[in-house]
Structure 1
Amino acid sequence: MSSTPEQDIPEASAEAPEGTEADNLAIIARQAIVDANRAVYGYELFDRSTASHSHTAASDAVLLFNALSYAGTEALVGKKIVFINCTHDSLAGGHLELIHPDKVVLEVPPLDDSATAEEIEARVATLEALRARGFRLAFNQHVLKRNYVSWLPLAAFIKLDMQAFKPELAGPLVKFAATHSQAKLIAEKVETPEQFQLMADLGVKLFQGYWFARPSLVKATTIRPSQATIIQLINLVRKQASTTEIEELLKKDPTLSFNLLRFINSSGFGLSCEVTSFRHAVMILGLKKLFRWAALLMTTSRAGGAPPAVGTTAVVRGRLMELLAAELLPPEECDNAFVVGVFSLLDVMLGVPLEKALESVALPQPVTDALLHGTGVFAPFLDLTRACESGDEVAFAKAADALHLSNRQVNWAHLQALTWAESLGEE
């Protein structure tokens, strides 16, 4: 429930980097919630991608989206629980449909001091619906006030802010919470050993605050599709397009397909197996969730997207590899060939080494082998594709010969791939 004012965050996060780099950087602060032995129980997350720390329904959605899509790796939360601050508007937001409730605790603020008992009561239906879907709810000590009696049974966690009450009130508050709820208690804003000992002696098991750990920053480079492409996806979904049509669009835009695979395989999505094909991803998400995902991606993307030339080259590579593979490999391998070609430029798009870029997206082993090690069934196709771009006749001849493909076959496929990529820009 920490609103975490600016001074609570290290200086490094006070301002977002300027220019394009800032658009591609998700900066998330996290503060550990620990047990009495300082073992990490979970993390509370805060969005620090911009200098503005306003807390709105939109910022809640962006934080959750960035946390799950871009930094939702071992580096951010591992297998720990995530605590996310919410506004009451965001509690009714569609973005919550995209995440697995097991992973996330929603921190629910009290209403304004001027709120009537009826207004407080009116929120119960929304909170109960979230609980029914499997979300756990956290409240601060306001939930122990008489007006909030209808909220108290819904609490999985109650956070007691050590800066908000005098030490002599700690005992009565803990006793009241333990008597009237099943909630786990968290002492937050613990800044001294005396505060920790006071709450531990009262039976509180979880703690958060500067005495344990200041918020640390986790930065994740993001890669955003152009808004035009996202709108295209949204329109396809709205008109109930077929899986094949949606798959075609994903194959046209490497940034879109990269984002989708990375998101659906994030820990927050809660799947038990990795999804490695576009078609599978679309089928698992379904149109409703795909629409939610695209709409949220739209709100967090910048106008430009990746440099057009890089994106075009990636698409040409993907299409060329797909066509070449169709000559020699079974049909089901052609999609993987396309992925190898498209993702072979992720390092350029993200500005990080390819190995690091691929850490955040699930891919079949043969795809990874080709991209990182130049080995496996797709490696010769990638070599040939790169040779087509280079103008190096010796390398071209050697690569084509390795696959027993004639110059005519390769040149025809390359021409088709270039034509296909150009046609995408005209739609």
Structure 2
Amino acid sequence: MSTTPANAAACPASNTSGQATVAMIARQAIVNAQQAVIGYELFNRSRTGIGHTAATDVILVFTALSHAGTEELVGKKLIFVNCTHESLSGGHLELLDPDKVVLEIPPLGHAAAQEVETRLPILMGLRERGFHLAFNHTVLESAYAAWLPLADYIKLDLSVLAPDQLAVLIRYAARNSQAELIAEKVETAQQYDMVSSQGVQLFQGYWFARPSLVETKLLSPAQASIVHLINLVRKQASTDDIEEVLKKDAGLAFNLMRLINSAGFGLNREITSFRQAVMLLGLKKLFRWAALLLTAARTGAAPSSVGQTAVVRGRLMELLALESMPPEEADQAFVVGIFSLLDVMLSIPMESALKLLTVPDAVAAALLRREGVLGDLLTLAEACESSDDAVFHKAAGTLHLSSQQINMAHLQALAWADQMTE
């Protein structure tokens, strides 16, 4: 139902001629009132070609899911999939765990009066098999009265519904259905505030991922400490200086000690001093940890999904850079990606944010003006989150990267980001 994905992944599929093709599968986060991701809507963002029909969209999505695995695309979250009525009886539905899947059912247009009752047994059968069903706001019209009890979710498109219409629909849905409401195409904080104040609890849209310039604000204490730590690490400061920062921020120190003593490090004994932790981790890993921590530090201005988008970008850009660059330059690609939403995370313009940090000139040029190879990589990463195929293919061509390389790297980046941010 929505057409502006915020996090995109791409997975190979097969076409009917037997030749390999590439299905570009995009995902957009759906978040709750606490702005935590509860699910992802998946789309086919492949370039429209000869023989492409609406029915092929859902089939490509399911083919990609079966090829890549739901864990790589959506982790443990719900999967919202755009469907056609023709696709609802296909055998591809057998590939998925219905408990995790929300099928988005389109309206019937002018044929509604005749077709609602005809389609009802199919929809009831899907519900009985364990699938969740989502509809857009037209399910609240009288013609669809037979479908309304089947709705687990109802989507309200803020780009087509006026505020007074929204208010009426929200009240009607609350009285006449058990469905959870999802406000989609949420692009501003004002829109978010408007629908959440009326009781909507789930949200979807660009406001949860894309950058926006806002007024300069003071950094919170946690953010200030992380930024200070990042600067010290980039300057290769002494262990004493780094230890001093940790001693002054209990939250920062706690997170570092929890990391160093986690099972993943496999140490034989517990590390209890900051000095030991810093020396064991090393400056490169310490920087990466601090940068990831910054994506999770919030002031309330930016939703948590912004941090996850930044993590995906950083890892995607690093993996793609490793195709043609030495590790040191690929590390800079990670820095560009993870700092590409710094203006949103810190609630200040990007130029002001970069004045707080020590970054190489090439990183600053990429972030501010999309210059150089790092700028091209960032443009490509951003294009993977939108429906702008022209920008995507131009950036891929400039970098001499194939769709298959980008697809694989993006899947790996999504899986890595989900592990880092859970």
- What is the TM-score with the length of structure 2 in the denominator? 0.46
Q: Which has the higher relative contact order, 1 or 2, with Cα contacts under 8 A spaced 6 or more apart?
A: 2
Under a length normalisation based on structure 1, what TM-score does the superposition of the two structures give? Answer: 0.45
